Amino acid sequence: MKYYVLFGPPGAGKGTQAGSMVERYHLCHLSTGELLRSEIAAGTELGKQAKALIEAGNLVPDEVVEGMIEAKFKSTGGVNGFLLDGFPRTIAQAQALDRMLENTAEKVTACISIMIPDSLIQERIAHRATIEGRADDARPEVVENRIKTYHAKTEPLIEYYKNAGRYQEIDGVGTIDEVRERIFSVMDRF
């Protein structure tokens, strides 16, 4: 079983590229954002808590996200692996993921990191807010908080996965097709 972590700042194109990656490599796409948005849409208690946090630009507590991911690992079959999008976002989550996988004698195959400069993050998120109508992308102060949170809490994962020999960086600047080909050229090696 393959376990890919799809990594990069908000607006890097993770969601755009995930569909092609899932299709080509027959993976189950686990997007924590989509999992949480479905809970919000369903009006569950978890959804209500998550909505308040997300609208303020904050992260949902680790134990909630970890529980959702582990449940999906156990309940999903008929795939070659998983594409984790939006998880892990912190060193503690990466360590929790490692523990989850160790329980089944598995490990993260690779961290595929799509990188773009901060100036492009702002531009892409503003564009996404108008196209997808995502309220969490529409307010500049929320976007700025997400960028700061990414740099402070998520960016340290680069060193974590480099030290584990699992980090693969992709230049996220260019057309969707150009970035996709860069991703595929890396994933084909696994």
Of the residues 89, 124, 166, 180, only one is catalytic, namely 89
Of the residues 2, 37, 72, 134, only one is catalytic, namely 134
Of the residues 51, 124, 128, 166, only one is catalytic, namely 128
37 given a catalytic annotation? no
HEC readout, the chain: CEEEEEECCCCCCHHHHHHHHHHHHCEEEEEHHHHHHHHHHHCCHHHHHHHHHHHCCCCCCHHHHHHHHHHHHHHCCCCCEEEEECCCCCHHHHHHHHHHHHCCCCCCCEEEEEECCHHHHHHHHHHHHHHHCCHHHHCHHHHHHHHHHHHHHHCCHHHHHHHCCCEEEEECCCCHHHHHHHHHHHHCCC
89 given a catalytic annotation? yes
Which residues fall within 8 angstroms of residue 29, CB to CB, at 6 or more apart?
18, 19, 21, 22, 82, 83, 85
14 given a catalytic annotation? yes
Of the residues 124, 146, 166, 180, only one is catalytic, namely 146
72 given a catalytic annotation? no
Of the residues 14, 51, 124, 166, only one is catalytic, namely 14
Active site residues: 14, 89, 128, 134, 146
